[in-house]
């Protein structure tokens, strides 16, 4: 059996695990770019791909490693206290660290050095995540209208009100603003790690967004460029 090979890497605004959407498609207004490894930069390999609206990405949980087989995991949406079987969840801690995401195909760009670049929306991948394969999404086969979603279905509409002062929002470049609000609306905090009056820091692109949650309202209290943020922390 041939080993899996990395065909590409994705370049996203998610520089750290904290704040990455819990599923693909939840944050639609942030773009990510799939750049192929040198041996796969032949434009013929993606001929016809723009005829599809969505794609499946098969990728590697490069930052989620575990020692040995762990049959039970603690899904964050269940407060981290209730265990479910690893194969009944989308936990990153799996025997094979493989992830699956459905993303929207926005466009294909051609770069003189990097070859074809696939630009997608709705990705839930950490920056520079290795990609094993790309397949077209087929609505007639991939949509199951009567499918059941277990505990994940109970939380699909979870949102938290966000107060993002205009003067802070405008510190972000325009292309990040809508996506930043969408990320925050999903409440990046783990269900078991909601500390009152604690200031959380979320990295998005080259910016550090700091926020607090009081009375179930998330309020942004600062936005700092990453280089400046590191200087302040010191």
- Give the DSSP letter string of 66-127: -SS---EE--GGGTTTS-EEGGGS--S--SS-EEEEEEEEEEEEEETTTEEEEEEES----T
Contact criterion met (CB below 8 Å) for 124 and 22: yes
Q: How far apart are CA 205 and CA 223, in angstroms?
A: 12
> How many residues are present in the chain?
234
For the chain, 234 residues long, give each residue's pLDDT as a single digit of tens.
568 899 999 999 999 999 999 899 999 999 999 999 999 999 999 999 999 999 999 999 987 777 788 899 888 777 667 899 999 888 888 888 899 999 999 999 999 999 999 999 999 999 999 999 999 999 999 988 888 877 666 556 678 999 999 999 999 999 999 999 999 999 998 777 788 789 999 999 999 999 999 999 999 999 999 865 433 433
Query: What pLDDT score was predicted for residue 156?
Result: 62
Query: What pLDDT score was predicted for residue 22?
Result: 87
Q: How many CA atoms lie within 13 A of 44 on its CB side?
A: 1
Query: What pLDDT score was predicted for residue 1?
Result: 56
| Count of beta carbons in the 10 Å neighbourhood of residue 9 | 20
Contact criterion met (CB below 8 Å) for 110 and 117: yes
> What pTM was computed for the model?
0.88
């Amino acid at each position: 059996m041939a080993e899996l090979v990395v065909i590409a890497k994705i370049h996203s605004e998610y520089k750290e695990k904290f704040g990455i959407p819990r599923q693909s498609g939840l944050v639609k207004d942030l773009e990510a770019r799939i750049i192929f490894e040198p041996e796969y930069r032949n434009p013929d390999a993606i001929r016809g791909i723009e005829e599809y609206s969505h794609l499946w990405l098969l990728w590697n949980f490069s930052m989620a490693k575990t020692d040995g087989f762990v049959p039970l995991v603690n899904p964050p949406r269940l407060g981290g206290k209730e265990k479910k079987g690893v194969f009944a969840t989308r936990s990153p801690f799996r025997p094979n660290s493989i992830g699956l995401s459905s993303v929207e195909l926005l466009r294909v760009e051609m770069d003189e050095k990097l070859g074809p670049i696939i630009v997608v929306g709705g990705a839930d991948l950490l920056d520079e995540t290795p990609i094993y394969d790309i397949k077209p999404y087929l609505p007639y086969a991939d949509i199951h209208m009567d499918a059941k979603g277990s505990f994940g279905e109970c939380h699909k509409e979870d949102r938290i009100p966000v107060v993002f002062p205009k003067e802070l929002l405008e510190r972000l470049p325009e292309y990040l603003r809508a996506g930043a609000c969408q990320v925050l609306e999903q409440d990046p905090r783990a269900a078991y790690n909601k500390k009152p009056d604690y200031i959380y820091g979320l990295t998005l692109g080259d910016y550090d967004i700091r926020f607090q949650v009081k009375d179930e309202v998330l309020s942004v209290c600062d936005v700092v460029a990453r280089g400046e943020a590191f200087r302040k922390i010191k």
